[in-house]
């Protein structure tokens, strides 16, 4: 069972990663806001460390904050009664957790846990609701993002039903890569298996084949992508289909989240 974790409030300028300062506008939703709309939120944004495996919000729990990851990746998972989980959506610097607050609810339908450790910024639910209720750029942007989230959930469901574990692993590695600032992904085979809802051995075999072919390099708790284009060629169509939907729905530039 993943552990719940404390969310200490810190200064809104964030911490550091790789020697550079982490700021709220590393999150691309916040970066897409005009300056005046961003400055309205800035005093309310709290920096929050997001350690790997920690639960941001459990299924059925009240959502008290909206989270805008910067260097972390949050996995939204559907949880069965026997605690078996499968991922339904991924949230990195391209998005936010807390969509349920915008639809009139305050209870999470999914477990939100940290897939890749890093930093993020949180906003109290009352502030997020109040800002969203005001017509303007934040409301418009988050409504568009909600449409992308729905598309991601639908595409993920199709992927689980029709594509192989090897294809799913390639898709998931690419999704992580798009949301990180490095070609190295901090993830274990066990966590990847829990994310995809498959046995750990299946992930180990899939990553072993990718490593043997020179596409990735695996070390303890980390996977480095060596040949991105070949990884894309082996991924299922779901990865490309979702990127196309993001480019269609979200503002120009927001979909281009890859790091060279």
Residue 13 pLDDT: 47
- Residue predicted with more confidence, 12 or 33: 33
Q: Is residue 198 situated within a structural domain?
A: yes
Nearest to 49 by CA among 115, 117, 95: 117
Q: Judge if 63 and 167 occupy the same domain.
A: no
In this structure, the answer to whether residues 107 and 232 fall within a common structural domain is no
Instruction: pLDDT band for 98, please (50, 70, 90 cuts).
Output: very high
- 7 φ, ψ (degrees, to nearest 5): -120, 75
Predicted local confidence at residue 5, as pLDDT:
36
37-83 pLDDT, tens digit per residue, is 999 999 999 999 999 889 999 999 999 999 999 999 999 998 887 77
- Whether 36 and 153 share a structural domain: yes
Residue 159, classed as helix, strand or coil, is: helix
| Residue 197 falls inside a structural domain | yes
For 52, which DSSP code? T
In the predicted model, is pLDDT for residue 86 greater than 50?
A: yes
Q: Note whether 126 and 44 are same-domain residues.
A: yes
Q: How many domains does the chain have?
A: 2
Total-model pTM = 0.85
Is there a single domain that holds both residue 202 and residue 114? no
Domain that holds residue 80: 16-159
**Among 44-58, 106-120, 170-184, 240-254, which stretch is predicted with the lowest mean pLDDT?**
240-254
Among 111, 126, 159, where does a domain finish? 159
User: 57: number of CA atoms within 13 Å, CB side?
Assistant: 23
Are 139 and 220 in the same domain? no
pLDDT tens column, 48-61: 999 988 999 999 99
Structure tokens at 45: 């944004």
Q: Which of 121, 139, 159 is the last residue of a domain?
A: 159
Both 66 and 90 in one domain: the answer is yes
CB 36 within 8 A of CB 134: no
What tokens appear for 10 in the block?
Answer: 């810190």
Looking at residue 215, which CATH number applies to its domain? Answer: 1.10.10.10
Average predicted confidence (pLDDT) for the chain: 86
Is residue 37 assigned to a domain? Answer: yes
Q: How many helices (H) and strands (E) would you count in the chain? A: 10, 12
Q: Which residue has the higher pLDDT, 130 or 14?
A: 130
Among residues 142, 159, 176, the one where a domain terminates is 159
43 and 128 share one domain: yes
- pLDDT band at 194, cuts 50/70/90? confident
């Amino acid at each position: 069972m993943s552990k719940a974790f404390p969310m200490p409030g810190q200064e809104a300028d964030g911490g550091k990663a790789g020697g550079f300062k982490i700021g709220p506008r590393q999150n691309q939703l916040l970066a897409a806001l005009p300056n005046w709309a961003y400055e309205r939120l800035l005093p309310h944004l709290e920096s929050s460390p997001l350690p790997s495996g920690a639960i941001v919000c459990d299924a059925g729990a009240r959502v008290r904050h909206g989270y805008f990851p910067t260097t972390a990746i949050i996995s939204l998972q559907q949880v069965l009664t026997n605690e078996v989980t499968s991922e339904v959506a991924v949230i990195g610097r391209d998005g936010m957790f807390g969509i349920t607050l915008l639809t009139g609810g305050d209870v999470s339908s999914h477990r939100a846990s940290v897939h890749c450790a890093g930093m993020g910024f949180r906003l109290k639910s009352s502030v997020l609701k109040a800002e969203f209720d005001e017509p303007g750029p934040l409301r418009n942007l988050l409504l568009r993002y909600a449409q992308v989230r729905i598309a991601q959930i639908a595409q993920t469901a199709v992927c689980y039903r029709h594509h192989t574990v090897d294809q799913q692993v390639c898709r998931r590695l690419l999704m992580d890569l798009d949301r990180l600032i490095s070609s190295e992904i901090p993830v274990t085979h066990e966590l990847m298996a829990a994310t995809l809802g498959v046995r750990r051995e299946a992930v180990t075999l899939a990553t072993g084949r990718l490593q043997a072919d020179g596409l990735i390099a695996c070390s303890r708790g980390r996977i480095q992508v060596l040949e991105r284009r070949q990884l894309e060629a082996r991924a299922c169509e779901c990865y490309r289909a979702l990127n196309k939907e993001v480019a269609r729905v979200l503002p120009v530039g927001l979909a281009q989240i890859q790091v060279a």
